[in-house]
Amino acid sequence: MSNRVIAWIDQRFPLSSFIKHELTEYPTPRNLSYWWNFGFLAGFVLVLQVVSGLFLAMHYKPDTALAFDSVQHIMRNVNYGWLLRYMHSTGASAFFVVIYLHMARTLYYGSYRAPRELMWWSGQIILLTIMATAFMGYLLPWGQMSYWGAQVITALFGATPFVGDQIVIWLRGGFAVGDPTLTRFFALHYLLPFVIFAMVFIHLIALHSVKSSNPSGINLRAKDNIPFHPYFTIKDFFGLGIFLIVFCAFLFFKPDFFIGTENNIPANPLHTPTHIEPEWYFLPFYAILRAVPDALGGAVAMALSILIYGALPYLDRSKIPGGARYRPIYRLLFYIFVLDIMVLAYVGGQPPVGPVVSINRIATFIYFGVFLVLPFASIWEERWLRARGLPPAVQEILANEASQHGARQ
């Protein structure tokens, strides 16, 4: 019976061939480590955010007079409203955790290199959209941090030459963050996840065209690939189990961990909290903004600090396959960079006084310095590795690539 139903569908829609092509026969490198788990986890968190957000939207009221109380209503009166709300707020942080780990893996193993540039760039658009969504979502509870965060970030656009003031007023729909701002942020916060979904599909179509990278950095022979299902579905689901344990630990035991205490006070346009800081996932970029003693320069530096990732496929000039594992200089740069981001995140959360200012500036200098050094370091590193003698297998790969390249010309 079910065979006949499937046959009926297959005549009209490529169901079986799709499952075969994208799952049961989709070739996946057999040496993928758990670092390749985070894309799946990001997809899971996206669904979690959309579902919990949908049910929250059934109870939330985007009106400055009602917003704060409607969140309290969700927390106190709505059945499992506390669960939905904390799931959504913890989920936002979880989203950035898995996305940042996903990006760190891409950087370490050089997964952004040819032919995966479009995956890297579509991923970048996803990151920027998630950042915008998270920022707008943070205004919705209409607490003090919500209000002043939105006030400060929208004010950033005031640094635009000539039309800065008009842009800020246009963004806010008023002279300060107010009811029009809240309503439009709610509308856009609801819209952007659909954009993220569309970009995720593009990301996945690109993935299934170029296939997964792997820790060796070399495209494996056909016999070294194994079907995605069941081998990696089971691996991804095991990783999901570990993720859920950590996620639920925060959700049920430390739900306020990621919510500023100041945000339990309703927004007050006449009083700024003594210490404002953005959510943890924006801290490194916020630190870069503060490092430049000029409004426009700071805003440009912050924008650049995120957009510069897109240039990586061109900044990394080395042809040696295998990511940081087989590239000592690149590996050193990677660890300097990760450490530097952590320093930036730390100083971003400190009041900008005393040594914090200098540390902030040095760390910002190193952040951009790594990108500037990379083109030279990667060429020099390749020359050094070749002079030292590459393993025969790698030499063969490079020779093959060179001959293919020559044949095409």
Partner 1 sequence: MTASSDDGNAPQDPARRDFLGTVTAAVATAGAVAACWPFISSMNPSTDVLAEANTEVDLSGIAAGQMQTVAWQGKPIFILHRTPDEITAMAASNGGKDPQPDGQRVKNPQWLVVIALCTHMGCIPNKNSEGWLCPCHGSVYDNSGRILSGPAPRNLDIPPYTFATADKIVIGKS
Q: Provide CB contacts within 8 A for 17, sequence distance 6+.
A: 10
Lookup result for tokens 């396959």: 321
Lookup result for tokens 């430049």: 292
For the bound state, the minimum distance from the C-beta of residue 122 to partner 1, rounded and expressed in Å, comes to 29
- Binding partner 1 (rule: CB under 8 A), the pick from 4, 12, 76, 408 is 76
Spatial contact of 352 and 248, defined as CB atoms under 8 Å apart: no
Q: Is 229 in the site for partner 1 (CB under 8 A)?
A: no
Going residue by residue from 310 to 349, which x/- string records binding to partner 1, judged by CB under 8 A? Answer: ----------------------------------------
Q: Is 84 in the site for partner 1 (CB under 8 A)?
A: yes
Between the alpha carbon of residue 46 and those of residues 88, 138, 200, 258, 339, the distances in Å are 10, 17, 10, 18, 28
Lookup result for tokens 């107010």: 178
For 238, the 3-state DSSP assignment is helix
Q: Is 75 in the site for partner 1 (CB under 8 A)?
A: no
Distance CA 280, CA 130 (A): 14
115: cis peptide before it, omega within 30°? yes
Q: Specify burial of residue 283 (Cβ count, 10 A radius: 0-12, 13-18, 19+).
A: buried
Q: Is 73 in the site for partner 1 (CB under 8 A)?
A: yes
Q: Is 2 in the site for partner 1 (CB under 8 A)?
A: no
Q: Is 201 in the site for partner 1 (CB under 8 A)?
A: no
Distance CA 367, CA 365 (A): 5
Q: Is 366 in the site for partner 1 (CB under 8 A)?
A: no
- Binding partner 1 (rule: CB under 8 A), the pick from 83, 132, 152, 303 is 83
Distance CA 261, CA 309 (A): 33
For the bound state, the minimum distance from the C-beta of residue 146 to partner 1, rounded and expressed in Å, comes to 23
Catalytic residue among 70, 89, 212, 318: 212
Nearer to partner 1 among residue 55 and residue 96 (C-beta): 55
Nearer to partner 1 among residue 24 and residue 403 (C-beta): 24
99: enclosing H helix or E strand: helix 81-108
Size of the site for partner 1 (CB under 8 A): 15
Going residue by residue from 29 to 58, which x/- string records binding to partner 1, judged by CB under 8 A? Answer: ----------------------xx--x--x
Nearest to 361 by CA among 347, 373, 372: 347
Active site residue 25: no
Active site residue 212: yes
Burial 165-193 (b: 16+ CB within 10 A, else e): eeebeebbeeeebeeebbebbbeebbebb
Residue type (1 letter), 89: S
The total of other beta-carbon atoms located within 10 Å of residue 313's CB is: 17
Options 11-19, 81-89, 139-147, 310-318: segment touching partner 1 (CB under 8 A): 81-89
Task: Give the 3-state secondary structure percentages of the chain, helix then strand then coil, rounded to 5.
Answer: 75, 0, 25
- Binding partner 1 (rule: CB under 8 A), the pick from 59, 184, 229, 317 is 59
Active site residue 208: yes
Distance CA 268, CA 275 (A): 15
The total of other beta-carbon atoms located within 10 Å of residue 402's CB is: 11
Positions in 231-250 near partner 1 (CB under 8 A): 237
For the bound state, the minimum distance from the C-beta of residue 256 to partner 1, rounded and expressed in Å, comes to 19
For the bound state, the minimum distance from the C-beta of residue 56 to partner 1, rounded and expressed in Å, comes to 9
Going residue by residue from 93 to 112, which x/- string records binding to partner 1, judged by CB under 8 A? Answer: --------------------
Active site residue 396: no
For the bound state, the minimum distance from the C-beta of residue 51 to partner 1, rounded and expressed in Å, comes to 7
Catalytic residue among 111, 235, 316, 382: 235
Q: Is 77 in the site for partner 1 (CB under 8 A)?
A: yes
Active site residue 279: yes
Catalytic residue among 89, 236, 318, 382: 236
Residues marked as catalytic: 208, 212, 235-236, 279
Binding site for partner 1 (CB under 8 A): 51-52, 55, 58-59, 73, 76-81, 83-84, 237
